[in-house]
Every structure is written in structure tokens, then in C-alpha cells.
Structure 1
Amino acid sequence: MKKSIIALVSVLLISSCVSKKEIIYFQNDEIDQSKVSNSYKTIIKPDDLLQINITAQDLKAVQPFNLSAVAYATSTNSAVGVAQQQMYLVDTKGEIDFPVLGKINIGGLTRDEVIALLRNKLDPDYVKDPNINIRIVNYKIAVLGDVQRPGSYNIPNERITILDALALAGDLNISGQRNDILITREEAGKKVQYKIDLLSKDIFTSPVYYLQQNDVVYVKQNYARIQSASANSNTSLFISITSVIITLVTLITR
């Protein structure tokens, strides 16, 4: 019996061991500098909540395009609270309803393309030489799976790499699978999945090195952790069954 217990413990210890080669980041391959890019583009997507600021020398001309959103008391019909700038929600068709200009389709465009589109519509008929600033208010990503702090994270500056995202989540647990991380992204209305390998320097040239709004990063558990969880579950079941059998045998032999 003692030998069996020792053997079982040895198997569990061996299965729980993780090779150093499975833990250290960026150990494989060389960085292809010709493929490394520090540029990234924010693509406007449905459900993005936009803050659009338009300024110009003629302050009166831009007032209709910088509406304030206020709440009104139903009893007195008077404004309540501090007025805030109107936000614009991109609908499922990729459109926003913009003051004066009406419906504008901006889904799938980059920020620069949206700015150019609005400038062409405003100048010179409404505003001369407008300065346009666009920000996604609800820009967020999610990190799930075998990390220290899984959850959803708001990104105020709209710029985040996969490494930044994992750092926000407290990095991978020691049992996290580093060579098969899954990123789910919406592209042209479809869910697309990418896989990256943190053990390789090729991550720096990956198309998902810079994340986009609403990307989901999933870190799988490694084989040893999965086996350990399975063993713990089976052990509990085995103990329960054994207890029932011992109880029945005791009652029968009395």
C-alpha cells in the first residue's frame, strides 16, 4: 500500500512539472525587423460609442455640431446635472446620426478616414477649416483563462498590445499555455480567430500584436494543469464511492 501511494505521488509530481522551455517568453526565432511596425489603425465598428469634437475659428459655426446631452426633470421640465457632450453610437449598419448632416456610414473606416469624411461634408458649406477629433469612449478588451486577473479592461488611449493586455491581467499563471494563445476579433461582421506563441519573437510581427476594441484574449491551461484538475475530480469521486462501500460492508458484517 505504501509503495502504491509513493508511486502515485511521484506520478503527480512528474505530471505537474513544467519544462523551462515551456515558460520563458521570446526564446525562439529571431525578430524580422523588416516586418516590425509601430503603427496601428483603429477601425470603427458597430456598438462603438464615439465622442466627436469639432473646432474652428468660427465658434458659432461649430455649435450645431457639438451638441450637449442633458437630463430633464419630468416634473419641472428643467435640466438636471452638468451638461456633457453628445455621444454617437455606431449602429448595426455602421451608421451614426450626426447633427445637420444626418445618417453617415462610418463602419469599417479608420479614424483618419472618418475625419476626412466629416471634413469633406463640413467644409466649406458649414464650417471653414474644421479641426476634428474622434475618440472611442467604450474601447475595451477582455482577457480570459489561465491568468492572474481575468476580466474586461477599458483602454482610455485606444492603444494596447497583446503584451500590455496580459500585463493588465497580471500575466499568465505558471500553468498557462504560452504557445497557443487565442485572440478572437470581429472583422467585416464575422468572428475571426488568431493564435500567437509567446515563446517566439514572431509575436512582434503578428497582425494581432496590436489589439483592437472588443478583442478577446484567451489563455489555455497547460496539459499538466488539465490532468491535475481531472485527477482531483476523479480522486474526490473515488473517495466518495469508497466511503459508501466501506459503510455498506460495515453494516452487512455487523
Structure 2
Amino acid sequence: MKKLPQFFKLSVIGLLLISLASSCVSRQEIVYFQGLEEAEARIDKQRENSLKIKPNDLLTISVSAPEQTAALPFNLPVIGVSQGGEIGGLSPVGRQQLQTYLVEENGKIDFPILGQVAVEGLSQQELAANLKEKIRRYVQDPIVNVRLVNFQISVLGEVNRPGTFDVQDAYFTLSQALGMAGDLSIYGKRDNILVMREENGVTTHAYLDLGDANVINSPYYYLQQNDVVYVEPNAPQRQSASYNRNAGVYISIASVLVSVAVLLTR
């Protein structure tokens, strides 16, 4: 049986070596939070800087006390929502819902009895403590709960479930956002994740490296309302946009066939 030319054999060996090399991925490219034991996380400090109330935010604020009748004037009337979502009077098939406070452009809300209250720049806990101090003049041992109801973040790019998500937690991290989006796909670039944020009418941004444990010390690690997270595709994924996604499969099949041919012609 006729032997194949030497250069052809060398080409086959080269293809096999390239295939093996391309299949090797280092730990640094995949593993999250490397060096966590050395990272000095200042979690409390980052939480202090996270999720501040801004104009156009929607808040629910409930006030209660041992003498509930004394706290009633400090609450907005409860509204009824039918199963179809229509707001109106209470009905047997409806449910109760707290009305929301809209933060005005001047950073204030109109609060019962107290009037205009400045809320911009405060966290939910700070606002609750502030209101509690003011209401204590009228009500003994008041309890104040504040919740931001329009906290949304968007996750785009190379994740398994991109989209816009409603957030219930006051402290919401980049890791939690990626978890809600089904984590990065295998094509996602883990060392250059973009977080975009609007602050005082100006869009700011930062690129975060999930492979570095010190990412938890970034002010962008704790997300704020309307943040946008974008996961960039890695180099192979970008290159694949210019050719058939099945090209790699075809090359692998061809390599195997050529290898078999070489063995049969020896």
C-alpha cells in the first residue's frame, strides 16, 4: 500500500497538537474568586456605599407600634388589587397592597403628618431610623419598615438567561445577579465584566475580574438599582461570528479521518 507523503503526515501531527492545545484551559481562566484567603474584604464598608435612594425611586413605608391606632395616621391608605391586577376597592378575590411613595426630583417624599422628608442619598435602613426618630415624638416605640420596590438590574451578553430582574434584597451583589441569569456561559469572559451605573445623571462604569477575590472590595460589586451588567464574549466566541459554528466539529472529524488514513497506509 502506498505511503502518504511525509509533509502530509507532519500536517496531521500538527493538527492533532493544535487540537490538544486548544482543548487545554487553565484554572486561572475558569475559577472564580482566586486568592480569597488573602483578600481583605471590607464588606461593611461596601454595604454602607450601596443602594442609596435616588429621585424617581418608589418606596413602600409601613409604620406600626404597640398601640396600632396611634400609628395609623403615619401610613398611606391600603389599596385593593383584584386578581386581574386592577386597582380599586377591596373585594373577596382581591388582595391588599401598600401604596408607594415616589421620590421627587428634589430628593424628598410627602409623608403623612411629617410633610416633606428628605430621602435622597439615604439607605433604606438610614431612612427607617430617621423616620422612627421623627415619629417617636407622636407615637411610643414606633416600628418603621422601608422597602425599595423598583430595584431592577439587567444582565446581558454571554450568560445563560439574560434579562432584567426584580430584586428584593437591599444588598445585591454581582455574583447574585449572575446567578439569577444562570451564570456565565462557557463563552463568557470572566476577567472583564462590565458594570454600568447612572449616578447624578452621569453614566459611570467599571470592569471587574471574577477570577480575583479582591473583586468583592469594588464599589461596583454591590449593585444599585438600574445597573446593567454585560458579559463580553471571549476571543474564540468573537472569532466564531465570522465562520460556521460547526467548523470546529468538521475539522475534528477531518483530523480523525486523516489519522485513520495514515495508520492504514503504514
TM-score (norm 2): 0.71
- Which residue of the other structure, out of 52, 77, 81, is the alignment partner of 1:68? 77
Number of the residue aligned with 1:162: 174
Tell me how far apart the structure 1 counterparts of residues 24 and 165 of structure 2 sit (CA, whole Å): 30
Contact kept in structure 2, 1:27 and 1:200, CA below 8 Å = yes
* Paired position in structure 1 for 2:257: none
Looking at structure 1, the residues matched to 126 and 36 of structure 2 have their Cα atoms a distance apart, in angstroms, of 36
Tell me, what secondary structure is at the counterpart of 1:217? strand
Match for residue 196 of structure 2 among 184, 202, 222: 184
- The AA in structure 1 aligned to 2:117 is I
Unaligned runs of 5+ in 1: 73-77, 236-254
Aligned to 2:89: 79
Query: Superposition pairs for residues 31-180 of structure 1, below 5 Å?
Result: 31-33=38-40, 35-38=41-44, 40-41=47-48, 42-70=51-79, 79-81=89-91, 82-124=95-137, 126-180=138-192
TM-superposed CA distance for 1:190, in Å, is 2.5
Aligned to 1:242: none
SS of the counterpart of 1:177? coil
Instruction: Tell me, in whole angstroms, the C-alpha distance in 1 between the residues paired with 2:185 and 2:162.
Output: 11
User: Structure 1's 127 and 27: CA in aligned 2 closer, same or farther, altered over 3 A?
Assistant: closer
CA distance in 1, matches of 2:21, 2:160: 22
- Are residues 1:23 and 2:30 paired? yes
Paired amino acid for 1:160: F
**Alignment partner of 1:206 out of 177, 202, 218:** 218
CA deviation vs aligned residue, 1:147-180 (integer Å, no higher than 9, x gap): 0000112222323221121111111111111111
Residue identity matched to 1:88: Y
TM-score (norm 1): 0.74
> Matches of 1:95 and 1:186 in 2, distance apart?
19
Runs of 4+ in 1 over 4 A off after TM superposition: 12-18
The percent of aligned pairs where both chains have the same amino acid is: 41
Count how many residue pairs are aligned between Structure 1 and Structure 2. Answer: 220
